[in-house]
Amino acid sequence: MREIDLLSGRLKLRHLVLVVAIADQGSVLRAAERLRLAQPAVTRSLREVERVLGVELFTRGPRGVTPTMYGDAFLEHARAVLAELRRAGDRIGGLADGEVGTVAIGTLLAGSNVLLPRAIAALKRERPGITVIVREATFNAQVPRLLDGEIDLILGRLNPIEDVRGLRQITLYGEPVRLVARTDHPARQKGDLTLADLCDHPWVLPLEQTALRTELEQLFRAEGLTLPGNLVECTSVLTVRTLVRDTDMIAALPDLVARTDPGIAPLPVPLETVRRQVGVTLPAHRAPTPSARLMLDHLRREAERLTA
């Protein structure tokens, strides 16, 4: 079989456009008019293609041209190539306009319960072609994914980033962290409740590598207390809420999480030293994609509504 190299550079994209136009119009003259070219230029380009292929693509007749069997075979591939290029152009244009694309969000406990679902719903109403991926993990586990480009942003309580280069943060709103328990928890029967009074109950605490866990440990030490011995370590909002609602466990949850579950309520023990800022962590030297920028816009708007 004779080998024909179509990647040598002699075959141009304009040749594909021209051959398809000739087939569609049925004549070199009408193809020239359609392409707004002179007829001799179209004829010359067709001869170039046929020389590259070493075969005739059309037979000439009194009523125009008809594809040969080589022409039919070449046209099938030419149309497929042009269709793929059109789809590529549409996709790139859609990505640039934010009409399609993907945004991957690393989520922490704060922000994931109310703010993120509202922002996602608003984004999908505006741009249904954008795919949203949500990955839940601790901040330390999310940072490498963010720096590697696996995720676009991290949403949650703002952790210190002094020890991590290449990050920047945007504050969205302030949200207190509260100690919560089920509404009929036995600890509520005691007046003047203190942190020490809660140590004999089971607790749900964040994982050790989280900033909230560190701050809670500091709070216990400041009051001369040790962490409760009966505890579960968990960062899943759904699991924490269910454990608190269905058992005697106590947890530290963002205020919005506590507020949206009628089965749990804050305990009258303040956590004054626990940080309150919720926001977004981004790569410092990588511009957000159009999809990520739209997600950020909706996070800002929904944060404003939540704090209004």
Q: What CATH code is carried by the domain that includes residue 75?
A: 1.10.10.10
59 and 135 together in one domain: no
240 and 181 together in one domain: yes
Is-contact 125 153, C-beta < 8 A? no
Please give the Cα distance from 124 to 103 (Å, whole number).
Answer: 12
| Number of domains making up the chain | 3
The pLDDT of residue 242: 92
Domain assignment present for residue 7? The answer is no
Domain range for 153:
101-171+280-307
165 and 296 together in one domain: yes
Token readout for 105 is 């969000």
The pLDDT of residue 150: 86
82 and 108 together in one domain: no
Domain assignment present for residue 3? The answer is no
CATH number at residue 144: 3.40.190.10
Domain assignment present for residue 2? The answer is no
143 and 195 together in one domain: no
Return the DSSP state at 260: T
60 and 194 together in one domain: no
- Out of 64, 82, 97, a domain closes at 97
93 and 107 together in one domain: no
Domain assignment present for residue 297? The answer is yes
Helix (H) or strand (E) holding 140: helix 139-148
Contacts by 85-91, CB closer than 8 A, 24 or more apart = 85/13
Q: Which amino acid is at 301?
A: R
pLDDT at 40 over 90: yes
The pLDDT of residue 2: 67
110 and 255 together in one domain: no
Given pLDDT bands bounded at 50, 70 and 90, which one contains residue 270? confident
249 and 181 together in one domain: yes
44 to 13, 20, 37, 54, 63: CA distances (angstroms): 15, 15, 11, 15, 20
The pLDDT of residue 110: 62
The pLDDT of residue 123: 95
The pLDDT of residue 111: 63
- Out of 58, 78, 97, a domain closes at 97
105 to 85, 119, 142, 143, 299: CA distances (angstroms): 31, 12, 9, 11, 11
31 and 149 together in one domain: no
Q: Specify which residues 264 forms β-bridges with.
A: 182
pLDDT at 118 over 80: yes
Contacts by 236-241, CB closer than 8 A, 24 or more apart = 236/136, 237/109, 237/112, 237/113, 240/109, 240/204
* Closest to 109 measured CA to CA, from 216, 235, 233, 207: 235
Domain assignment present for residue 291? The answer is yes
Domain assignment present for residue 275? The answer is no
Q: Mean pLDDT over all residues of the chain?
A: 88
Digit-coded pLDDT (tens) for 181-228: 999 999 998 888 999 999 999 999 988 877 788 889 999 999 999 999
The pLDDT of residue 166: 85
pLDDT at 148 over 90: no
Domain assignment present for residue 287? The answer is yes
Digit-coded pLDDT (tens) for 53-107: 999 999 988 888 999 999 999 999 999 898 888 877 767 877 777 777 889 999 9
pLDDT at 235 over 80: no
Given pLDDT bands bounded at 50, 70 and 90, which one contains residue 163? low
The SS3 of residue 259 is helix
- Out of 36, 67, 97, a domain closes at 97
The SS3 of residue 68 is coil
Please give the Cα distance from 181 to 199 (Å, whole number).
Answer: 13
201 and 55 together in one domain: no
Of the two residues 92 and 26, the one the predictor is more confident about is 26
Token readout for 165 is 């280069």
